[in-house]
Structure 1
Amino acid sequence: MAKNRHATLTANKKTAPQWRNLHSRVLSLLLKLTKIEAAILAFAVCSVALGLGNSLQSDPSTASIEEVIESSKTEDTKSPINTDRTTIALALPSQNSIPKTDTEQAAYYSQAKFTIDSNTVQADFSPAPLSQPASPKSVAAAATAEQSSTAVKRIHQTLKKGDNLSMVFDRVGLNARDVYQVVQSGNEGKALTRMFPGEKLEFVLGENNQLEQVIRVKSPLESIHFIRNIAGDKTYFEINRVTRTADIRKVYRSAFINDSLSLSAQRADVSQSITMNMANIFGGVIDFVLDVRNGDQFTVVYEEHYLDGEKIDEGNIIAASYSNRGTTYNAYRYTDPDGDTGYYNEDGVSMRKAFLRAPLDFTRISSSFNLRRLHPITKVVKPHRGIDYAAPRGTPVFSAGDGRVSASGRSKANGNYVFIKHGESYTTKYLHLHRRSVKKGQRVKQGQIIGQVGCTGLCSGPHLHYEFLVNGVHRNPRTILKKLPKAKRLNANLKAEFMA
């Protein structure tokens, strides 16, 4: 046996120089190969190695990322895999959790759920839990997915203060030619140049980031679409207005007053806008600070608008009632044949008086109408030709009646002010405003917001100074209303229709 071992060693020593000579000859031959010949040889060697590897591969956990992804897709969802863009992070399950038979494996991988975002594709194999990965390569395998050249990209933009249309288009990656083509689409296109901060645009980009659509979202129910079209060598945008119809639901709310209308309404889940509208409806008969008492009760029926099952806004008040000091006031919404809408009581008398009893929801009267009042700042006896309504800064101020703004400005004594002329005989003035919301010459409706309570000019605290003039003469706003024209009453024919 020792002799055999010695013979083998001797034979190996004799063949070693032969192997070294063969190695030298092969190396010399490789050095003489051209680049093309070397490439062909390398391809042949790799093909042989790949064939051996495929013949040995029997465990699904060692499959390539491309194979796993493609095996989990249907024919409709398969797309080529590219290694230039998006990274695919594929977490494979552990080897122990994978079924062994081909049929079970196919069913297992068909359950893979892929979550895709702009940078990654995550595969979640449910219901099998992810335990320890089979290998580092299978846990953090990297590849890339090709983004389809025809994929649609949607970009949402909200106009900011200081924005113009060109700036918004530039943020999306579009150029001045795109802006020009959209603006030239007609009046709606030109209107895009007059948009305000907070308005929304949606851009639809196609192949090579080409602009396909611009959508101006005017409301959840209305949008204007500018759609690219090509006629010959001319590109233009046509306009399509899209409107949707909301589902209208009627809502009933009722509550007793324990402190103020606004707080009691809030506890009854009534929004501020509905509360303000209700106060405007009854504003001609009830002063919601001086007249309100604990134990008063209100009831309101109004509309809510829903789109795709979600509430988008509130609609009109259909009917409302308010019980104050033993008297109940009812109001019903009615639109006459001329299209004028108002609220009327059960006798067909309009709830809307010529003027509101108070032009805001105030806390208290801090100073009454007094022709011999001592001014709190100048300490000089000077007529106080109006009423001071104390209220928090920013409280909305309403126009007391229909009219036209005769002045809107600022002075040292009055601060920010608004004057409104109501026909030929009446004028109302609103002083010390924090902010003005109307301009000179603008027409306003009763209950329209014209500014906010503030403390500008000669002022000792946030309040509204309100004046009422009849033919140029100051009158007490709290007593003059009784002498003003009565409310509108429906004629016999309209009343019959209203009562029907």
Structure 2
Amino acid sequence: MQSHGGGNGRTQQFRERLGVLRDTALHQRVTQHLPAGRWTRRHWIHASLFTTIGVLMATIVPGFSNAIQAPASTPRATFTLDLPALSEARQSGIAGDSWQVVRVKPGQTMGEIFEELGIPAATLHRVLNNAGAKQALTRLKPGTEVAFDLPVTGNLRTLRYDRDSTSRVELTVGPDKVTERVIPRETTTRTVVLSGKVGRSLNRSARKAGLTAANINSLTDEIFKYDIDFNSDLGPEDRFSVVVEQTWREGELISTGPVQAATFTVDDKLHSGFRYSRPGGKPEYFTAAGRPLKKNFIRMPIPYARLSSKFGARRHPVLGTMRMHKGVDYAASTGTPIMAAGDARVQFAGWQGGYGRTVILDHGRGHTTLYGHMSRLGKIKQGQRIPQGTVIGYVGTTGLSTGPHLHYEFRINGVHRNPLSVTMPPPEPLSGPQLASFRTYTANALARIRTVEDIIYADVGPAEPEKAKVTASAKPAATKKGSGKG
């Protein structure tokens, strides 16, 4: 307190001296220049200036005086509090009262998770001795949830994970053995119609509507790829409606099935496709009239390529002579995948003279296709049967070639035909009882779609904003043999 008082005393003395100096200076300044009578404007300015300086000094100096003072220390005291000890029952805990849920990170292993939780490696080995658990826990996908029941003691009591969408596994770690219990989980499957407008992006609008990436690929690469050019045909007002089955568990959507039926309205023209399985066959997509949407042959077996050379006579770019060009060339960057134009058997796969690395496919009924100048082959071998769209190789510039491209030939009974103009054999349509069953199924699917679209788009005008997502539930269709729900 004395030091504080001393500081205040020095401050007061400084203020008094400053006041004396200020008064003296003012007196001298005024008396020297003050004329007989009254002050001039200049005298008032000088007086105001000195007064201001005096006030500032009187204000600032005490602040410096306080700033250099040592802060007063506040006394503190520490007390030890005795907490009651946990009871034995509390330490062991009640089964299930201490679950910790861990979401697996990319690249994370079960060993790393056990280490982070402080669970001994010996416990992990005991858990993995269970055959089913070892297969599931050593192949964890990112995002998978694994739950651990850990009491205060830190010893693992129970481990829980989902084996699949309908069953959960609990492993109880006892002193002598690990006991497995499978718990069924109830799920609900609903048939729904997902509808929306193309807007700025079909992919974005379809995802907002609830379609999965696989559903979108089915629309663009399987169902409508023969009738709609998704790069240039679509407008923002064009719309789509898709029938799918969704599986829900405890209020959470856990899976969406394949497209059962779909319609696409482009420039007021309706395109439709329906999933149906022929007896003993794989699911396919058909038009409402029962004709397969999948054509026997793809006109262009390479995506996003440029036609660089047509079918017919031309001067060979390497040999420089006039000769018949027995196919068409598609220019594309090296490594672009090449697809089988139709279902086929691999007749040849290897090097063939000026064609370079080549694949020849036999499609039956005298139809063959040739693919030349590949940089490398796909995962195929001679004699193998492959479906349409299988990647058989990759664009290159092997053989007599001036740049990376695909040379594509189409032959009927050994005679070369122009792949761009040849009439492709039509696929076999449904008939008889199959067609009758198919029409019953399509009528139900179309009724669902029309009900939803009538509600959504009934009052849509030209200035109506984009509807990104609309979902309507419908009663699941009865599952019957040949009903098309393959």
Is the strand fraction higher in 1 or 2?
1
Structure showing greater relative contact order (alpha-carbon pairs closer than 8 Å, 6 or more residues apart): 2
